[in-house]
Chain A
Amino acid sequence: MKSLLFLISFFSLCINALAKEPDFEIELQSGKQYLFSGQVSEASQAADRILKLAESPDDKALAYFFKSQVEFYKSNYTKARELGEKSHALIPADKEIGGFLDYIIKVAKNGERFEEVKTEHFIIRYSHSKDSILVSYAEDVLERVYYEIGLDLESYPSEPVVVEIYPNLESFTLASTLSENDIKTTGVVGICKFNRIMILSPRLLPQGYTWLDTLAHEYTHYLIFLKSGNTVPVWLHEGIAKFEEKRWKEKKRNVINPFYETLLAKALKANNLVPIEKMHPSLGKLSSAYEAQLAFAQVGTIVDFLVKKWGNKSLVDLLNNIKEKNDYKVAIKEVTKKNFADFYNTWIRDLRSRNLKERTPQVKVKELRFEEKRAGSKDQSEDLVELDNAQAKNYTRLGDMLRTRGRLKAATYEYEKALHFDPLSPIILNRLASTLSAYGEYDKAKERLTPLFELHPEYIETYTNLGKIYLEKGNLNKAEEAYTQAISINPFNPEIHIALISIYKKLGRTDLEEFEKKVLNVLLEDDVVTQPYENTNTK
């Protein structure tokens, strides 16, 4: 967000400085305003007019520069680069134009390698061969999101929305302008910027992440930009996106889960909520992953509170009002009849009245851990590092060693002991459930997994283990459901697709069976990147 504002201001300054003709300058200002407010089509038309008006080399340079920027927003990287180069050729000494061109060239290099799939309302781009499997799942969810969230926010983009899936951290940091540290610390894996949605492939995280929710979340941002003309403050942006992100799969929009409940309960108890002011310019810039997650919980519940108390229409009205007044406090007063401080305090009182509990007392928000290129150990003890309690870790390790030697019951005994020290650990519970089901104790295994759906809904192993249990018990539909959930977190686990192939075969769903076979083939192929991604400095 900050970068966006900076870029726009920067363009504005350049244009102001170099403008000569009054018409030219008016058109340029108008074009800039369109771009700032997310009206890219209008900005594009303005850019054409500006080009016609430009006569002097300096004007032409500015016109090309603006046009380049518009094309960049339209995700036409090659065209944006060509126009940028024309502009730079006209004023080679201009450092600002040169610097911007540098950036565009780098992004374009990556952007030019994208493969794209067009759906009715989206253009989905990817470059890593394995990321192609995401498209099939994403297009379905995105189309659902288009209607559901569109309905909530009463907004539907007229142009196809570009969604880009980045194959590695380097390319994502470049395109998003976020630093690697920001991404690792606060766990930002998606961003809506430059008139498009950008996400990091879930392939890069060992446990994956709820990437379909992220797509929905970022699409919500897109709609808010579109609807409000870029006037909505960051905290509200994030609040609405958080509020809407599960809309594609859940009728009822509910932000609070045990994780957020715990964070909020702790913050309310310690009276250390993240101040609204601190959330500017981006939640991704907060000091820790914990603080970022708390901020998400706060803003999500603020929107939830607004909708619950004043109805869904209030949300649409709020966005319209903000666009109109360009002041969220005034808009909130218009909608709620309360000044912002009262509204905020009412929300806190509402939270307190809910009697939130620390559902997972040992909650710990960890930084993102990316998948490393190395072989796992034979006893699969890589994730033990996530366990904080030494005793829990020791007994889990014992359980793992016994399990790899086929001593399943003994392993169960050790996992039980480990749970004594960390009763809600998804790692231990999943290990235990997996071991129990390995010797036929399916009900007990399922029982062990139950708390995790609520407490750790993003933990993929819970769904794969559940899928296995249902599959063993012959409940194919439930098994399919579990595996589909797993796909929404990390579809790159071949085991999921093998299971789904088996399920669809049994169900006689040949089309889906074939589809899953194709996906599996892609996953089992060697990694192919269209070309290696470079963070090159060369123009």
Chain B
Amino acid sequence: MNTGSEAILDKVLRSLEKKRKRVCLTNGTIEFLLVLCASLGLISLFAHIYSNNLYFSILKTLAIAALFFGFVKFLLPPILKKERKTELAKELERVSPGLGEDTLNAALLMAETQSVKKLGVSKPLVSAHIDKVASRIESLDLSPAVPKEKIRSYSKAIAAVFVLSLTSLIFSPREFHSFLFSTKIFPPTEPYLLELADIKVNYNYPDYTEIPPQEIKGSTGDIKAIKGTNVAFEATPLKLLDRGNLVIEKGHVIPVNSEKGKIKAEFRILSSGSFFVEDKSGKYRSRVFKITMEEDKNPRVNIEHPGGDVIEIDGGEKLEVNYRADDDFGITKLMLAWNTKKGESSRLIKQTKEELKFLEGKFLWELGSVDSDPGETLEVRIKAYDNDTVSGPKIGVSNVIKVKFKNPRKKHEDILIIAEKLLDEFLDILGDEVENARFGNWPLNSDQNSDGDQTPGQSENQSDYSKINISMTKSIQEDLTSKIERSLSSLDKIVGKMRNDDFSDYTYFLELSGMKIRIQDLLDERHDLIPSFLITDLPRLDSLITKEINEFEDDILFLDSMLKGEKLRESLLYGKDTLSKYNELSELLEKLKQNGDETTRKEIAKKIEELRSLMSELTEKLSSISGDIYDGFLNPDAFESIDLQGKLDEIMKLAERGKIDEAVDLLSSLKTGLQSMIASLESGFQSFSSASLSKEINRLNEIISRIGSIEKEQTNLKGRTENLKESFLKSPPKKENLSDFLERERKKIEQLKNMLSETKAKVSPDIPESEIIEGSFLIDRALRKTDELEHWLQALEFEEALKRAKEVEEDTIGLKNLSKLFWEIAKGDREIGKSEGLAREIRQDLENALQGGTRDGQSYQIAKRQDELEKETSQLGNDIGEFQDDSSLIPQIGEKVGESKGFMRGAYDNLKKTEISKAISNQEEAIKTLKKAREETEGLLEKYQLSAKGTGLPVPLVLGNQLQQGTQGVDTGYVEIPAPEESQIGKEFKESILKALKEGSPEGYSELNKRYYDRIIK
């Protein structure tokens, strides 16, 4: 067989098959495209009929169906078609008759020959047939067996359909257009897209940000700005939009204004989200634009100082805190916040109107105002508030610093330790004073016999100074001086520390301050005496030592009493703490009863341990109190009945066994015992304090009473003086005052003396002395009495003067009677008569004066009483001075009394001169200064009384009042609020005084006016 023929035949047939398939496929495609274009064109045309989504949906469905049909009908068959040889043979038959059959046979035979199974056909015959068919088919034009390509024949039609369809599609409604090319088949629910062009956004930022408004042209429409920014959105819709809305996410709708083809809407950014624009009907809607809200950032704040883990500080101290803060828009205020067991507290550090973006500064934090437990640690931070008025101020919180309060009682405890040390120092000094330094124990010279059998304090050899070894004495005294200096330094330290110690009682401070001054005085005397000590100074030294012994004895007793009182007070504090813990334990037991959980049980165990520790402290404190306090002021029964430690154990056991009710009962009984103990401590403390201060309280009461009494007397006296003034006003004086009266009387006395002298001159020369001895005696006596009368009158002792006046009058009457008996005496009859008349006149004048019958007399009486009052005041001043020596800080009471005395002296002088107005003015001043002295004493008494009750005022509080005029704490001093009318009058009065000062006052008034002016200014 010729294999070449077979190959040719196979090749030709294959080529034919391929050609035929290609043409069929091309034709199918063309037909499909025609269907596609036609259907699209048609539905595009039909889309103009209705603008309805459903309709569009139907059209789209039809189009799809047409396409499907076209595909199935025209495109799919050629793709799937597989040419059969028989069909090919048929086509070849059309090219050349018989060719088809031959070709088919040849193909079959070729297959047979290649088969394993023998057909029993001759191969050569087969080859020949194949060769024949191959050569024939090779020689023939087989193109008629290939179908015609339609593209050529239908090219124009296809082009027309394509153009028409495309045109129709392009001009179809936009919504249809978009729907058609969308993946959706069913009618869409969403509105149609509203195209927007030329978008412009105007940002108007919140005022607080101080950012200028901003316009963005050609914006994408997406918004990004800080919260609270007002946004104006402007755009040109591509579809005519008369009315519409701008819809913000979550349904907030803003109407859109349409003008000149542009739409406008404004809204405020309050959160991130999105928005779109739609027409009124909701049919058209723009794309969704994004809103991005930018947050105002929290301020940043930092505490830069102090650093470290925990800052330990005293309660009364001030802590300097440095800070730095910033914010993107501005800070309005800074607050300091701290946490205690009782919760959070805060205070304002700074508030600014400028709303600065950056703040830096420092402040002093007074920790005294912080309410916290001793030893508690505070967590402190600064909070910065920004100026965000939209969302409210944002808070920035700083780093935390930890502040631990030193135990506030620590300072007080330190003071007490120094006080105990001081007590020892004083005892050492007292011991030295008595044993080594006191007179009688002074070292004797070595050659002298020192075998004295003296007891301390004896001074048998006081006068025998020569025996004393001066250098050794001096050396001992120098040692003693050093000790006193050291003790004074300790005392000074205590007084200094007490000034800032809230637990130190003011009255103790007062006493210790007085003690310091007294010891300083003694020390000064020592410094004056010892360095240049001589044997002649021994008596002075002896006196000094006696004073020092007395002083240190008193001081030791005071310190001892103070320390005992403090221990008692500490015991009381521990007692109260213990009671408070009992209450907590009671609550815990109740809690355990409710829940029975293990945590509560553990808390109970912990609380019991705390109680045990407190009880131990309390027991220690109580045992350290000396017996006389214990026995004298505390009720021992209150301490006997409670076995606190043992019962605590029992409570714990009961709680562990779950017998809560029994534990609660036991605790309750224990609490009652404890309460009784605390009550005993409290009353004991008060009794002790009261007993310790009773001496001072009594003395102050006495001073107040005495000042009050003088004040009352002075007020009465002023009343009397005013009445006198009234009398003068009603009936003006005949230019006569007390001095005039005295002058007048003095002249009368002078005349009387002259008359008596003349009488004596007339009577005596002629008569022997022995015969007229009686008359002569009377004249002499009358003369002597007249001298005395003059003396008493000058001394303003009117009573004495009156007595003498009466005696003189009696003598003159006696002389007159004698003159009737003796002619010699009768020679002086006229002079005697005149003498008698003058004596009577003087006597009557004096009687009138004393009875107040005359204004001179009244003036005299008032002056006399004024003088007496001045003396009483002077005595009071001296007594206060003595008291002040003990407690030198009594504020100016003595000075006030002294001033009052000065005014009384002035009033007395004025009264003597019948300067009534001046006297009243002085009396007024005396009353005022007395009143001030009394009020200050009452204030002091009040402080002592509070101390006696165990609620004495703390030193810093009182000193704060005194020094800072009540800027902190409560001023317990008396304050007189002037009546409104006083203020009004005061103004006029001040003016008149000022005028008077300028113009010059009458003599005696200028100083008064000045003082008064000073006072009212104060």
Contacts and interface: CB of A to CB of B under 8 A. Distances in A.
Interface stretch (B155-163, B398-406, B628-636): B628-636
B427 A375 contact: no
B430 A410 contact: yes
B91 to A, nearest CB: 139
Contacts of B87: none
A373 interface: yes
A69 B713 CA distance: 81
Contact of B456 (A372, A382, A393, A409): A409
Contacts of B556: 398, 401
B626 A382 contact: yes
B557 A398 contact: yes
A538 interface: no
Nearest to A387: B628
B560 A413 contact: no
B631 A382 contact: yes
Given A377-B626, A397-B557, A413-B434, A405 B455 contact: no
B623 interface: yes
Contacts of A376: 627
A313 interface: no
A407 interface: yes
A374 B628 contact: no
A496 B455 CA distance: 30
B457 interface: yes
Contact of B434 (A381, A395, A401, A409): A409
A9 B77 CA distance: 148
Given A397-B560, A413-B457, A384 B639 contact: no
Contact of A382 (B430, B627, B640): B627
A444 B631 CA distance: 32
A382 B627 CA distance: 4
Nearest to A383: B627
Contacts of A407: 427-428, 430-431, 434-435
A405 B431 contact: yes
A382 B423 CA distance: 20
A385 B628 contact: yes
Contact of B427 (A383, A384, A402, A409): A402
A373 B622 CA distance: 13
A269 B170 CA distance: 150
Interface in A192-230: none
Contacts of B427: 401-402, 405, 407
B568 to A, nearest CB: 13
Interface in A363-410: 372-377, 379-385, 393-395, 397-398, 401-402, 405, 407, 409-410
B424 interface: yes
B366 interface: no
B553 interface: yes
B142 interface: no
A380 B628 CA distance: 10
Contacts of B476: none
Interface string B405-440: 000000000000000000110011011011100000
A386 to B, nearest CB: 9
A381 B626 contact: yes
Interface size on B, as a range, is: 20 to 34
Contact of A405 (B424, B457, B557, B622): B424
A377 B625 contact: yes
Given A401-B427, A407-B435, A375 B623 contact: yes
A152 B639 CA distance: 49
A43 B498 CA distance: 79
A382 B634 CA distance: 13
B554 to A, nearest CB: 9
A381 B557 contact: no
Contacts, number: 82
Contacts of B626: 377, 379, 381-382
A361 B350 CA distance: 77
Contacts of A397: 557, 560, 628
B560 A401 contact: yes
B627 A384 contact: yes
Interface string B830-873: 00000000000000000000000000000000000000000000
Nearest to B435: A409
A314 B473 CA distance: 73
Given A398-B553, A402-B430, A413-B434, A377 B560 contact: no
A401 B428 CA distance: 10
Contacts of B623: 374-375
Nearest to A393: B628
Contacts of B457: 413, 416
Contacts of B455: 412-413, 416, 444
Contacts of A412: 455-456
Which of B423, B553, B557, B626 gathers most chain A CB within 10 Å?
A: B626
B557 A394 contact: yes
Which of B428, B431, B624 gathers most chain A CB within 10 Å?
A: B431
A385 B632 contact: yes
Interface string B550-576: 000100110010000000000000000
A393 B627 CA distance: 13
B279 to A, nearest CB: 100
Nearest to A413: B456
A413 B433 CA distance: 11
B456 A374 contact: no
A405 to B, nearest CB: 6
Contacts of A393: 628
A455 B694 CA distance: 33
A131 to B, nearest CB: 21
A385 B557 contact: no
B915 to A, nearest CB: 52
Nearest to B553: A398
B617 to A, nearest CB: 15
Contact of B428 (A394, A405, A413): A405
A380 B430 CA distance: 20
A372 B636 contact: yes
A412 B435 CA distance: 10
Interface in B537-560: 553, 556-557, 560
A383 B632 CA distance: 10
A247 B741 CA distance: 92
A397 B427 CA distance: 12
Nearest to A395: B553
Interface string B68-101: 0000000000000000000000000000000000
Contacts of B640: 372-373
Contacts of B636: 372, 374
B750 to A, nearest CB: 62
Interface string A460-474: 000000000000000
Contacts of A402: 427, 430-431
A497 to B, nearest CB: 25
B602 to A, nearest CB: 34
Nearest to A408: B435
A240 to B, nearest CB: 37
Interface string B939-975: 0000000000000000000000000000000000000
Contacts of B622: 374
Nearest to B695: A390
B627 A381 contact: yes
Interface string B613-653: 00000000011111110111000100110000000000000
Contacts of B631: 382, 385
A377 B435 contact: no
Contact of A381 (B423, B553, B628): B628
A374 B431 contact: no
5 contacts: A375-B623, A377-B625, A381-B626, A382-B626, A407-B435
- Listed from nearest, the 5 A-B pairs whose CB atoms lie closest are A382-B627, A407-B431, A410-B434, A377-B626, A413-B456
Interface of B: 423-424, 427-428, 430-431, 433-435, 455-457, 553, 556-557, 560, 622-628, 630-632, 636, 639-640
Given A397-B628, A410-B456, A413-B434, 6 more contacts: A373-B640, A374-B639, A385-B628, A407-B430, A410-B433, A416-B457
